[in-house]
Amino acid sequence: MGVDGTNRNMGERMSATYQVSGMTCDGCANAVTRAIKAVAPAASVEVDLEGKSVTVAGFDDATAIADAVDGAGFEFGGVKA
């Protein structure tokens, strides 16, 4: 109700939040974001440093995301409950 098209698209795109350990600063967040975007260029990636999690919208291949995260030197912990 009262939501414009843009917000609606962002809010309703399928997304999942994954646990990622080892991120300590914006540099880490950028590295993880770049790694995921390398396998999912159209995805939107949002890192929560304090929550040790990454939310990915528009791409739901968790295996590819896990490989990207591990390849960047961080620890993929699965889908966050």
Q: Residues interacting with Cu ion, by CB under 5 A?
A: 24-25, 27-28
The nearest distance, CB 32 to Cu ion, in angstroms, is 10
Nearer to Cu ion, 1 or 25 (CB): 25
User: How far is residue 8's CA from residue 10's CA, in Å, rounded to a whole number?
Assistant: 5
The nearest distance, CB 59 to Cu ion, in angstroms, is 23
The nearest distance, CB 79 to Cu ion, in angstroms, is 23
Burial of 37 per CB tally in 10 Å (0-12, 13-18, 19+): middle
CA distances from 25 to 14, 32, 79 (A): 27, 11, 21
The count of other CB atoms within 10 Å of the CB of residue 5 is 7
Nearer to Cu ion, 27 or 41 (CB): 27
Nearer to Cu ion, 37 or 58 (CB): 37
